[in-house]
Amino acid sequence: MFKSEVDSARDWKRALQLMMPELEVRIWPESGDPGEIEYALLWTPIGDVMQSLPNLKVVFSLGAGVDHLLRQEGLRRDIPIVRMVDAALTQGMSEYLLFHVLRYHRRMPEYAFLQGERRWQQLRQVAAERRKIGIMGLGVMGADVAGKLAALNFSVAGWSRTPKSLPGIQGFFGADQLHSFLRGTEILICLLPLTPQTRAVINQQTLATLPRGACVINVARGAHVNEDDLLAALESGYIAGATMDVFADEPLPPGHPFWRHPAVTVTPHIASLTNPSTAASHVVNNIRRHQHGEPLTDVVDWEQGY
Ligand code: NAP
Ligand code: GLV
């Protein structure tokens, strides 16, 4: 097991052993004989440790996103990577997104401004069914939040790589349909994996395709957004607000303009955090599958990059 925070590694050890007492869990760097390690649970590989485990059978990613893992030099393609999929992780993401969508929908940033001015002013409220929410990425998390937003009567569209048919959600797919999707989106959510195809997908051109006054919520990876283009669109007033949980450079440097921008909400990559007490079952179930010769779940597709 490899994790930068030892306490969290200890939480993982406890949670895994509770579910699978026969599992011997070692915390890097006190991992003993490298030849005895069969499964590695990690966020980012540390140095060349992956190459130094000759009997490694499966890599488990602590995160749902695996871009940081796939970027590592020398990762062995013969070893499957299982990414994190956990109902509590998905629920946490939907909570974060429902909160920020409702905040924009109910015009809370404007009321906060009016309060600062001590102005009693009622603003026109659009009905939920007329509010258009667009979700980039209709995977585990995108599909969950799409369903929850649709249940609140919002008009929800989603954009994915391959066609998707989800009840009550208008589906768009592929590069050809990106602009049609964006044209009808007032609150844009990014829940894409970071791949060469999705890097900087939110840029000057795509922002300009959104209707004037649209808001952007990025909970995927910082590199999905061209930050200079977003700042320019916010400065011009074309984009009304942005909620950013992830950044090109994390931790967000103290001098970064996002920190002080009145139209930007910054959170420190906490939209949804993996919790060992719930997520351990995903790892244990897959270890059991592997031991019984059954197919693993949620294996990363090297070609697609997610
Ligand atoms: P997922 O299940 O793999 O879903 C990815 C979705 O993106 C799929 O619908 C996929 O299309 C779509 N997609 C991939 N490439 C595309 C492309 N080129 N064009 C259009 N659509 C594309 O991922 P997930 O579990 O929902 O997680 C999404 C991301 O959230 C993760 O990769 C991670 O970066 C981020 N995340 C952030 C936090 C946080 O705290 N901020 C927490 C967890 C996860 P198909 O359906 O056609 O395959
Ligand atoms: C967090 O960012 C994750 O990918 O789970």
Element (H, E) at 187: strand 187-190
Number of neighbouring beta carbons within 10 Å of residue 236: 10
DSSP state of 241: E
Cα 122 to middle of ligand 1, angstroms: 38
Element (H, E) at 264: strand 264-266
pLDDT at 3: 44
pLDDT at 260: 98
pLDDT at 74: 75
Catalytic residues: 221, 269
Reported as a single tens digit per residue, the pLDDT across 117-136 is: 999 999 999 999 999 999 99
Give dist(CA 71, CA 68) in Å, integer.
5
Cα 64 to middle of ligand 2, angstroms: 5
Q: Which domains does the chain have, with CATH numbers?
A: 9-86+274-291 (3.40.50.720), 89-266 (3.40.50.720)
Give dist(CA 262, CA 118) in Å, integer.
17
pLDDT at 52: 85
Atom of ligand 1 nearest to the CA of 175: 19
Mutate to test the pocket of ligand 1, among 140, 192, 224 (most ligand atoms within 8 A of CB): 192
What is the number of the ligand closest to the CA of 198? 1
pLDDT at 29: 87
Cα 272 to middle of ligand 1, angstroms: 14
60 within 8 A of 39, measured Cβ to Cβ: yes
pLDDT at 5: 46
pLDDT at 306: 97
- Taking 70 as the pLDDT cut, the residues of the chain under it are 1-7, 46-47
